[in-house]
Amino acid sequence: MRQVFPELGVNIDHVATLRNSREGFEPDPLSAAVLVKKAGAAQLVCHLREDRRHIRDSDLRLLRAWNGLPVNLEMAMTDEMASIALDVRPALVTLVPERREERTTEGGLVLGRDMCGKIGEFVKKCRDNAIRLSLFLAPDTMDMNRAIDLGVDQVELHTGEYANASDPLKRKRELERLFSAAARISESSVRLAAGHGLDRENLLSVLAIDNLMEVNIGHSIIARSLYVGLEKAVSEILERIRRETPLMRREGILS
């Protein structure tokens, strides 16, 4: 069936970060996940980092055991994470770069020869285990070509540079980069997602990307949930997506 609107993935890492700050049980990522589902999101996103500063292995396993929404597991391409992913079998794995000192994921994956080799092997293992594989990439045409050649299922465009640009000219340039990377992906069978730094306002221009199938949002939703509650914060974004996805796409004039 034709997908009319981009799906929404909600990143719940911040819920775990808040819980970890007191080493207790609240707030609980699983309870947050139940509300995210109730609000109508299509998937949960969480990043199991090497230092476990957000979700922990037990959170990931609980979310999978609950099985209420597909899990998009963000992780670095390390042997440890690969073996956890193949054991837990989330619906989707998104490979992201990871540096210990960063506050959040900065930049897309760097697709050097070594990394491409590792991804090439991991793609096959994911396929054998019914896990779809996504690469989190800066909107760069060369990287789109590499991702297509690697045979991954999805590319998630890093929207951070666009979202964080305060200079209107830079913002326009970054948006153009997103559109041209998306155009390259549309020539292949790779599914297109986007995420990082998106909120109710800057999401609007991104929704104009014709072949966008998924947006993943964390920080702005969790921040907004402090004022209006998590369910409402998620539904507000969903409503934006439904209302602001261009009419041409909604009416099937665009695929």
Q: Which of 12, 41, 81, 94 binds ligand PXP (CB under 6 A)?
A: 94
**Counting contacts by CB under 6 A, is residue 146 touching ligand PXP?**
no
**Counting contacts by CB under 6 A, is residue 29 touching ligand PXP?**
no
Q: How many residues bind ligand PXP (CB under 6 A)?
A: 19
DSSP 94-160: EE----TT-SS--S-----HHHHHHHHHHHHHHHHTT-EEEEEE-S-HHHHHHHHHHT-SEEEEE-H
**Counting contacts by CB under 6 A, is residue 196 touching ligand PXP?**
yes
Which residue matches tokens 């209420």? Answer: 68
**Counting contacts by CB under 6 A, is residue 174 touching ligand PXP?**
no
**Counting contacts by CB under 6 A, is residue 154 touching ligand PXP?**
no
Minimal distance in Å, beta carbon 108 to ligand PXP?
9
In the bound state with ligand PXP, the residue whose beta carbon lies nearer, of 82 and 137, is 137
* Torsion of Cα atoms, 86 then 89 then 93 then 95, to 10°: -20
User: Which of 14, 54, 158, 196 is flagged as catalytic?
Assistant: 196
User: Which of 74, 156, 161, 174 is flagged as catalytic?
Assistant: 74
Q: What element of type H or E holds 192?
A: strand 191-195
54 in active site: no
| CA proximity to 241, closest of 164, 253, 226, 209 | 209
* Torsion of Cα atoms, 112 then 115 then 121 then 125, to 10°: -130
- Residues whose CB falls within 8 Å of the CB of residue 26, separated by 6 or more in sequence, listed in order: 19
14 in active site: no
Q: Which of 59, 74, 98, 161 binds ligand PXP (CB under 6 A)?
A: 74
- Residues whose CB falls within 8 Å of the CB of residue 122, separated by 6 or more in sequence, listed in order: 77, 82, 95, 133
158 in active site: no
**Counting contacts by CB under 6 A, is residue 104 touching ligand PXP?**
yes
Minimal distance in Å, beta carbon 100 to ligand PXP?
15
Q: Which of 27, 71, 84, 136 binds ligand PXP (CB under 6 A)?
A: 136
What is the rounded CA–CA span in Å between residue 225 and residue 175? 27
What is the rounded CA–CA span in Å between residue 43 and residue 33? 9
DSSP β-ladder status, 92-95 and 71-75:
parallel
Binding mask 36-55 for ligand PXP (x = CB under 6 A): -----------x--------
**Counting contacts by CB under 6 A, is residue 214 touching ligand PXP?**
no
**Counting contacts by CB under 6 A, is residue 171 touching ligand PXP?**
no
In the bound state with ligand PXP, the residue whose beta carbon lies nearer, of 44 and 96, is 96
In the bound state with ligand PXP, the residue whose beta carbon lies nearer, of 1 and 53, is 53
**Inter-residue contact 158 to 138 (CB < 8 Å):** yes
Task: Please report, as ranges, the residues that interact with ligand PXP according to CB under 6 A.
Answer: 11, 13, 47, 74, 94, 96, 104-105, 136, 156, 195-198, 216-220
Active site members:
47, 74, 196
